[in-house]
A and B are shown apart, each in its own frame.
Chain A
């Protein structure tokens, strides 16, 4: 352990100044170096009553160093035994207490039995400023517990989260606790708690990239959990900022890149999204990165390359890939293909989505005419459990709801995008080109970049 933190108690060169007060900065006599190579036996055999503190300290430091070099828990235990004896000689020494506590902490994390009680007892004895700098004992217990959970794949989330909350109660300044807790909240799908907790961690260490990572992830998870993510453009922006900082500090963390691919796409920063996706795919060429890259390529109109990548995945993820291929085909005006891909999507999809049916109706209509398209749409959506807004969309698409009522019913930017697009599309089908373009422009102005309706509005404005 580095004891650099001690400097916080020693402003400037205070330690040296203090030593000078006491000793006059006199040159120390040269001493014989008689430290044995192996210090374990001498340290272990000494009785603390007659122990030489200098020798003990030398032994303890050497053992500690070897333990770190060899990553040896056994050596660490020996070092701790030496520090325990040393502390008996100077029980008020906070630095020794801290060092010993750090040893107990490491042993507890390593799962050494019978350490937790000593660790907790010593933690309570640490002076407040030292305690504020020490990692909390419950964090060590958590780390051991999560290790066991990972090994057995049996997670007791309530227990794990309780340990982290206890750790915060013990030592609220440790950023790592907040990072871990934030991760827990993310996994249990409490993104706002994840945001709040990650912020707590950042407040304690603004330079910790892990805190930035979890904050970015939490923001992304939050916006992704919303029915209209474009109602939270600030949060999208914050996610991007946090992830960028995290990416600088943790350039090899692919999870951050995944997040950035998505966030840049949401922000209409397609070139950046492609860049991140390529890096991700190069570093980890799996299905997820391939899918991310394909999506990003669509955003820069590289449909052919995008399709090629989707097709490599279609056997394993047919419903998703056919939907993606259908979207790509629609955006380049290949309505027959689009209609075909949608048909395949619905063949493979376990639980068809209302918007998939809606978009399919456009492709089918462009390919085969209105009657067939709407008949299929009506059939597909008939048994679907839809939201009130989706119900209104369906009614409008089946000509059972006037255009004005649909537009008036839209509550947010996402619903407005959809309302304007389908109003425009209906006008276009009816031959009212000017009116149609007016609605398409309105849809485009909503800047819901990742929405297919937004992209199709642009397409119809061009064609």
Chain B
């Protein structure tokens, strides 16, 4: 889970809390102060250490008879260090300007010398967040506090007032004692010493609570004069640490969920009421459907045809507008606009599929980015819509057309494994999207080494992808305006010392073939040239560095939550290393070992193929949750990958020349020299039978040559023919050969 998802969910919950407030738009009245004056409060909660903490939070939600809420939140923070001082110097509060207004009631800083300084009037403004680039109704109130230093105490209070409801006559909310603060390193969620979470609502409806809402903090429930009050008092809530791959549900037991909606059919019906009227054909849609159906006979072909049509004709835009993000445009409007957000696209897809006789429905999804989605009580907290194909003849049941020329069927890593509510007006339960197997989530690296020039090594690389890797790299290529530079830097990580000579992509627009990357690297001065050995290397750590996040794991002592691999995945490599020339033969000086443990399976093998060497490496991380108790072992195992032997393939010049070849190219004038040379080489290699044969020939060629007799004597001696050997040596000496 990324850090933003928590923050985003935090504020999305907050704005959902507020949409039923009874104060009309444009009318504002400052809320009463919820806490005692700051100096007094600070004395009530004296510092207990040097850590930064939210020492008091008060949240009052007042739900009116229309089931719209007004929320006033008071937060007091004691700053522990310079990092916190920097983080809390500027505070942002997010809200939806479709559903609510937001007003800062006050903000003050109490310095260590006891002076209270209020927020300067010009230090507050409302902005549109930069990260959401297209239409949106999210805003942020930003204010900068003065004199925030270690030891300072700051407070602020704001009030959200409703403009309209999401689900008319219903109310739901998620409450948290935490304060989510933007920080230089992401988002910080400091410990909370004391928090009061209070909801006051009409008593004419039951307020349903999620399971943890009953156990997280002491709950006081009262009823008076037709209104019910729920009050949680939270004490000493520990710091919430955001970690990579932490469980979505981690820490949710510290949240409380309240809703007037008992089951999800209510939400289903509500959504159906918003969406179904937009699924209507007109002449233009009928024409498109007919045109597509003309070329598609099977259901699968129809589904693919609709997918292709959407990708080629309807541009995706990110939009969080239209009934606060839940009401789509009519399918006919989407055709006219030739663009649409996820719900618009889904409406058009469902319309076309139904027009072609394929049973399909919209489905609301909470993506991984949206954070944890508690199914205990009904509430609206989805952030994506896709198409569910109920038709049993279809081999594809989930379709997402929002990717820009994404590989069919477009279901990405953010969606798979998530809960979806199929909007059919009936379902009261969620359907879980399937998760791909590790074999379907693969990044494969193909490397082909060749020696070029005097000292350089060229490496051709091909990267092929499936699943989340395909989606990630295709997306990066399509959306990053500077993608060539980005991918050049990426490819440069294959070998740190390499220059990227070429890089290109294939299938970035192809809906049916996976995206792949190709290029060429040059490693200067990789070897000293012939006749020196050349060493080439590959390692599983290249795969890890390129494609996996496990290289940046938190140290075991720091880790506080289990580690979840939501999708298993596989990384693989095939390397072909060619010899500098025919004189060289390869040898794996060291080879990467295979490793099998509970956390991953690493398989490595290598082989000599003629005078080249081939290496195959694959590592598979299964889908699983690694408990905190297992984490140290997991960390050590992953960290140990760095220390594993890598493939160090040495190309060594073969020492022995081809004797047969030498013998067949003998110059007649140098026949004895060649023959003696052959004999010496056979003796040097311990091939004494051949040496004896060669020496006998040498003596036959030159019977007066002392060395010939000497070598014959050696060969005879090594064959155990001592008498003959002595004779040959004597002959050699007689002919003047010097021992």
Q: Does A61 contact B (CB under 8 A)?
A: no
Q: Is the interface of B mostly helix, strand, loop or mixed?
A: mixed
A105 and B121 alpha carbons, distance in the complex (Å): 86
Interchain CB contact under 8 A, B537 and A22 = yes
Nearest B-chain residue to A234, judged by Cβ? B738
* Contact in complex: A21, B495 (CB < 8 Å): yes
Those of A172-215 within 8 Å (CB) of chain B? 172, 185, 188, 190, 192-193, 195-196, 200, 203
B34-62 residues with Cβ-Cβ distance < 8 A to A are none
For the complex of A and B, the 5 pairs showing the least CB-CB separation, nearest first, are: A93-B591, A90-B593, A89-B593, A168-B686, A127-B587
- Chain A residues contacting B722 (CB-CB under 8 Å) are 188, 190, 193
7 contacts between A and B (CB under 8 A): A18-B537, A29-B555, A90-B604, A91-B605, A94-B590, A192-B726, A200-B683
Q: Does A130 contact B (CB under 8 A)?
A: yes
Question: What separation, in Å, do the CA atoms of A19 and B536 have in the docked complex?
Answer: 10
B533 within 8 A of A: yes
Enumerate chain A residues within 8 angstroms of B496, measured Cβ to Cβ.
Answer: 20-25
Is the CB–CB distance between B686 and A90 below 8 Å? no
Known: A24-B496, A190-B726, A235-B739. A196 touches B714 (CB 8 A): yes
Contact with B along A1-22 (1 / 0, CB 8 A): 0000010111110110111111
Q: Does A50 contact B (CB under 8 A)?
A: yes
Question: What secondary structure prevails in chain A residues at the interface with B?
Answer: helix
Contact yes or no, B642 A172, CB < 8 A: no
A-B contacts counted at CB < 8 A amount to 170
A189 to B594, CA, bound (A): 55
Interface-located stretch among B168-176, B255-263, B648-656 = B648-656
Chain B residues near A162 (CB, 8 Å)?
720
> Apart from A15-B648, A127-B587, A169-B688, what are 16 other A-B pairs with CB-CB below 8 Å?
A9-B650, A10-B533, A22-B495, A22-B541, A28-B642, A28-B643, A49-B596, A89-B593, A90-B594, A91-B591, A93-B591, A94-B589, A95-B590, A96-B591, A161-B720, A190-B725
Residues A53 and B595 in contact in the complex (CB < 8 Å), given A23-B496, A31-B639, A132-B655: yes
How many positions in chain B have a CB within 8 Å of any CB in the partner chain? 67
Q: Which of A89-133 contact B (CB under 8 A)?
A: 89-96, 127-130, 132
Give every chain A residue within 8 A of B347 (Cβ-Cβ): none
Interface positions, chain A 315-374, Cβ under 8 Å from B, are none
Residue interface mask A280-300, B partner, CB < 8 A = 1: 000000000000000000000
Indicate the member of A8, A18, A28, A195 with the most B CB atoms within 10 Å: A18
Contact A50 B528 (CB under 8 A): no
Q: Are A52 and B714 in contact (CB under 8 A)?
A: no
* Residue contact B591 to A94, C-beta cutoff 8 Å: yes
Report whether A52 and B637 are in contact in the complex, using a CB–CB cutoff of 8 Å. Answer: yes
Chain A residues whose C-beta falls within 8 Å of the C-beta of B636 in the assembled complex: 31-32
What is the CB-to-nearest-CB distance from A220 to chain B, in angstroms, rounded to a whole number?
Answer: 12
Interface residues of B in 158-217 (CB under 8 A from A): none
Q: Which residues of B contact A (CB under 8 A)?
A: 495-498, 523, 527-528, 532-533, 535-539, 541-542, 545, 555, 585, 587-597, 604-608, 636-637, 639-640, 642-646, 648, 650, 652, 654-655, 683-688, 710, 713-714, 717-718, 720, 722, 725-726, 729, 738-739
**Does A54 sit within 8 A of B, measured CB to CB?**
yes
Asked if residues A54 and B535 are in contact (CB atoms below 8 Å), the reply is no
Query: Residues of B contacting A165 with CB < 8 Å?
Result: 686, 688, 718
Contact B646 A92 (CB under 8 A): no
* CB-defined contacts of B637 to chain A, threshold 8 Å: 52
- Interface contact B535-A9, CB-CB below 8 Å: yes
Give which listed residue, A23, A195, A238, contacts B541 with CB less than 8 A. Answer: A23
- A170 in the interface (beta carbon within 8 A): yes
Q: How far is the CA of A49 from the CA of B591 in the complex (A)?
A: 17
The answer on a CB contact under 8 Å between A11 and B533 is yes
Tell me how far the C-beta of A256 lies from the nearest C-beta in chain B, rounded to whole angstroms: 20
- A14 and B726: CB pair below 8 A? no
Is A50 within 8 A of B596, CB to CB?
A: yes
Please measure, in the bound complex, the distance between the C-alpha atom of A49 and the C-alpha atom of B594, giving whole angstroms: 9
In the complex, what residues of A have CB within 8 A of residue B645's CB? 53, 90, 93, 95
- Kindly supply a per-residue 1/0 record for chain A positions 44-82, scoring 1 wherever the CB is within 8 Å of any chain B CB and 0 otherwise: 000001101110000000000000000000000000000
Query: Given A90-B594, A129-B650, do A192 and B686 touch, yes or no (CB 8 Å)?
Result: no
